[in-house]
Structure 1
């Protein structure tokens, strides 16, 4: 397994991942609706943490779909597993890569700024998409957002992500602190 993740990773209290402030900035069900997930889709939630998006996404993909929750942190994945017991449509994987996986949608929420080589990683994401698949990037704006988010110097500007991806995209407005970019594979 090669290392894609930077030394800066979220380390902290799990409750911060579900705080009232975070839910206001990034309402999970609202954002999942914006992703236009269809019943039967496979969604990879890379950097899934404790399942902020993975758990509600299960309802969107339905019984014939799947959610693949990937994180490098065993601690986070153990917490996710406690929250969702015996769900046949959820696959939990500890990894730092997408090698060998395929999906309709790959969600990179608040994680791209932690990737050592985001251009290479995005290219790997595009290779892991099914035809007409999409990569969704939700991340912190490169500006001061107070106590929320990673250090300013670790953030990726939205414009830089667009250049790195070098593929057709749609931007959705979410909140002034975060951006939501949808890259579509033709």
Structure 2
């Protein structure tokens, strides 16, 4: 299909919940470094078919809530079915417009954590996406950014669709964030714990006082 992006391709969508993905994306190694104790709201931005959803819900405190954002309505439908079939509770799914500068709706609470797996590389300018959704993040919250390194790997998107760790770090700085912690996984992935700089905090405070 002309114009289809790699993440809309049926073969890639099958890979997202496959055993092969588990071999590269160790859920335990990815989620264990996160401090879950004080989390009240977590946003899974670009959740796809929900590779991390069940594991996130298991780790969240019993009164915490998971918010799943996705731009492909077919994937939201699949997650709605999974929510029913698997009895997933404390999760709200919502559609995000496909735009280069995404913003989160006002009606969701400010998240303590924003989790982004292999989504920032889908934007032409990741800094716009990081700053756009990061504006909603609590000032003392963290964004966890996981993505493909721009090298050959056993699976994953084409190299041309990947963003190198060096370029992503530049985009992070441009967005007013900083790498608080770099978490080692394997040679094919980079994984950053991000926090806001004073510039991003001031921007959030400025927008929160606007009278709409």
TM-score, shorter chain, exceeding 0.5: yes
Cα distance in 2 between the residues matched to 1:98 and 1:35: 24
Task: Please identify the structure whose Cα radius of gyration is greater.
Answer: 2
Per-residue deviation at 1:129?
A: 0.8
Match of 2:10 among 6, 9, 12: 12
Query: Per-residue deviation at 1:37?
Result: 2.6
Q: Give the TM-score normalised by structure 1.
A: 0.87
SS at match of 1:55: helix
1:174 equivalent in alignment to 2:185: yes
Higher share of residues assigned strand: 1
Larger CA deviation: 34-43 vs 150-159: 34-43
For this pair of structures, how many residues does the alignment match? 180
Counterpart-to-counterpart distance in 2, 1:40 and 1:135: 12
CA 1:17 to 1:172, structure 2 compared with 1: closer, same or farther past 3 Å? Answer: same
Is 1:84 equivalent to 2:80 in the alignment? no
Following superposition, the deviation at residue 30 of structure 1 comes to 3.0
CA distance in 1, matches of 2:15, 2:195: 31
TM-score calculated relative to the size of structure 2: 0.77
What secondary structure is seen at the aligned counterpart in 1 of 2:79? helix
Deviation, structure 1 residue 141: 0.5
Q: Which residue of 1 aligns with 2:138?
A: 130
Q: C-alpha distance in 2, partners of 1:41/1:33?
A: 17
Cα RMSD between the aligned structures?
A: 2.0
Indicate whether 1:43 and 2:18 are aligned: no
Give, in angstroms, the shift of residue 39 of structure 1.
5.3
Q: Is the contact made by 1:103 and 1:130 (CA closer than 8 Å) also made in structure 2?
A: yes
**Structure 2: 5+ residue stretches without partners:** 198-212
Q: Secondary structure, in 3 states, of the residue corresponding to 1:144?
A: coil
Q: Distance in 2 between the 1:38 and 1:171 partners?
A: 21
TM-aligned CA deviation for residue 36 of structure 1: 2.2
Q: How does 1:26-65 map to 2 (within 5 A)?
A: 26-38=25-37, 40-65=39-64
SS for the counterpart of 1:173 is: coil
Where does residue 159 of structure 1 map in the other structure? 166
